[in-house]
Structure 1
Amino acid sequence: MTSMAQETYAPPAQGAEIRRHELAAFLRSRRERITPEQVGLPRGVRRRTPGLRREEVAQLSAVGVTWYTWLEQARDIQVSVQVLDALARTLLLDAGERAHLFQLAGSVDPTPAASCPSITPALREMLRGLEPVPAYIQNSRYDILAYNRTYARLMGDLDAVPPEDRNCILLVYTDPGWRSTIVHLDETMRLMAAKLRAAMAGHLGEPAWKLLVKRLMTESAEFREHWERYEVVSSRSKTKQFLNPHVGLLTLDHTDLWLAPQSGPRMVTYTPKDTQTRTRLQHLYEMPTPQPLT
């Protein structure tokens, strides 16, 4: 008599084929639900395909049309994390859909949204205990892994930023709201590019690092200019100023508190430099949380 385990077992090769077909079907379903207008393309008068065409997805994701067609045909081809990331952005996948895409492709999502095993409940409690001092935890790639209420409001609304986009350098170069709060923006951008280059020396072959630099190079001409200078600088504490839209000018002392060896995660705090800033931070912390529109 055949056991249930024997009936449901699929050999590794068969399991991989099943995942490829699931991946193909998932990509088609996501492609067909997106209108051209959602991604900035004209609809045209002869469009018969529901949603986007394959060639449009390929173009927006910077991959070959034939290669993408093979992917939707469940061909046995290798897919890099860079391509999966590009497809996830083109197809406007939410966090759950993005995780599903990487799982079907047999890859590990390199973005900080995937997992943060180093963030313990005790560390989150420490962040809350520092209120109203803005504080957050970031890794050596400048991904924001955890943060407190005041930091979330310091440069806009961090809670509204998708987890995969919560990276200090990415936000400084590409987010208009974030950029508008930084008093010395040009200096900050150049300094952060130099810090990233210095930190990347020990991670040159890692997909997540290459993915971040590729995205910055694609989305920011300013980053390309700064990156090509090959400047490097180590992390250092300094006084920073932010022009917060709710409470005005804030003058803060930046301090790094290392949680691991220097290449690992660290807690960053912004302590008030003067009495006026301390008062304004308290107001920022006590602001009611905006309610979503219904």
Structure 2
Amino acid sequence: MDKNKELGLFLKKKRSTLRPEQFGIKLEKRRRVEGLKREEVADLAGVSLDWYVRIEQGQDVNPSVEVLLALSRVLQLNNEEKRYLFNLSDKKMPAEDTSKIIISDTLQKFLDSQNPNIAYITDSKLTIIGWNKAALKVYGNYERMSEKERNSVWRSFNDNYMKELLDNWEGHSRLRVEQLRANYSCYENDAKINEIIDELNSKNSFFNEWWNEQGIKGTPEGQKLLHHPMVGKLYLSYISFKSTEIEEASITIQMAVDDETKNKLEKLLKL
């Protein structure tokens, strides 16, 4: 199929999956269109209706990168769909700005559905970028932390709460350093994380030793013990897996091993 026609059909199909209520559009009783109307997509994306009609008709309109990003946002495309859209338009998809990562409604609902178990998302620099309520109750209020404070490596060496919470601080911290080292190629030109690495290298002998050993490990599954200041010991099993939606991000779920731990997590959620 011609790429222009394929692009038009793809956009038409995607707008049919959306509901007007998602965008604050009042639903008409006699509405005949499934999903969004063409004029609604055009208005939300900031393009002319005539232009949008022509692209859905498969005409050669050569959309810009900015327009493709706007359509991706309005049509709520995931990363694979966005990549497909750019390929059809013969455009290179711009690199994702990790400082502007947005957790989708669907992904946030997944994190929330894990309560009372702990769920959070880390980026390639091991900075926490998404979480559920249980994570806040156990690990601290990420909502009030700066980006630097949410970096799990920096926090391991600088936050006394974490040092007291972790049953095996040394094992946890060493693993985090090794994981950060393993991902270095993903962020080697990132000024913020390199500032953290330089700071820890100069101020902490443990970090300096473990970083320069260049050990590289990963633990997608395992168990851990935490000492929470309010409810005591929490016995948890955990599993981590890569997100296909956010480049190089990992989703971690920490589950209660026994009923006593589950009851304690439920108690924390009510506080």
- Identify the TM-score tier after normalising by the shorter chain: 0.5 to 0.7
Q: How many residues align?
A: 176
CA spacing shift, 1:164–1:209, aligned 2, 3 Å: closer
Q: Is 1:271 matched up with 2:260?
A: no
Q: Secondary structure at the match of 1:228?
A: helix
* Identical pairs, percent: 19
Aligned counterparts of 2:104 and 2:246: Cα–Cα separation in 1 = 19
Q: Which of 161, 165, 168 in structure 1 is aligned with 2:149?
A: 165
190, 200, 210: which one pairs with 2:184? 200
Structure 2 unaligned spans of 5+: 1-95
Query: Is 1:122 equivalent to 2:106 in the alignment?
Result: yes
Match of 2:223, as an amino acid? T
Q: Distance in 2 between matches of 1:207 and 1:257?
A: 27
The answer to whether the 8 Å contact 2:220/2:241 transfers is no
Please say if 1:257 is aligned against 2:216: no
Please, which runs of 5 or more residues in structure 1 have no aligned partner? 1-109, 288-294
Check the 8 A contact 1:174/1:220 in 2, yes or no.
no
The answer for the alignment partner of 1:142 in structure 2 is 126
Q: TM-score, normalised by structure 2?
A: 0.59
Q: 1:207 to 1:162 in 2, by over 3 A?
A: closer
- Once the two structures are superposed, residues 61-83 of structure 1 have per-residue CA deviations (whole angstroms, 9 ceiling, x without a partner) of xxxxxxxxxxxxxxxxxxxxxxx
1:1-294 alignment runs, 5 A limit: 114-117=99-102, 119-260=103-244, 264-287=248-271
- Distance, in Å, in 1 between the alignment partners of 2:128 and 2:135 is 11
The aligned amino acid for 2:236 is L
Counterparts in 2 of 1:219 and 1:157: CA distance versus 1, 3 Å = farther
In the alignment, what sits opposite 2:59?
none
Letter in structure 2 aligned against 1:115: K
**Is the alpha carbon distance of 1:159 and 1:206 closer, same or farther for their aligned partners in structure 2, counting shifts above 3 Å?**
closer
**2:213 aligned counterpart, secondary structure:** coil
Q: Matched residue of 1:142: which SS?
A: coil
Distance 1:121 1:239, change over 3 A: same
Query: Which AA in structure 1 matches 2:163?
Result: R
- Deviations, residues 257-291 of structure 1 (Å, cap 9, x unaligned): 3212997112111011111111111111111xxxx
2:158 maps to amino acid:
T
Pair 1:263–1:191, CA change in 2 (3 A): farther
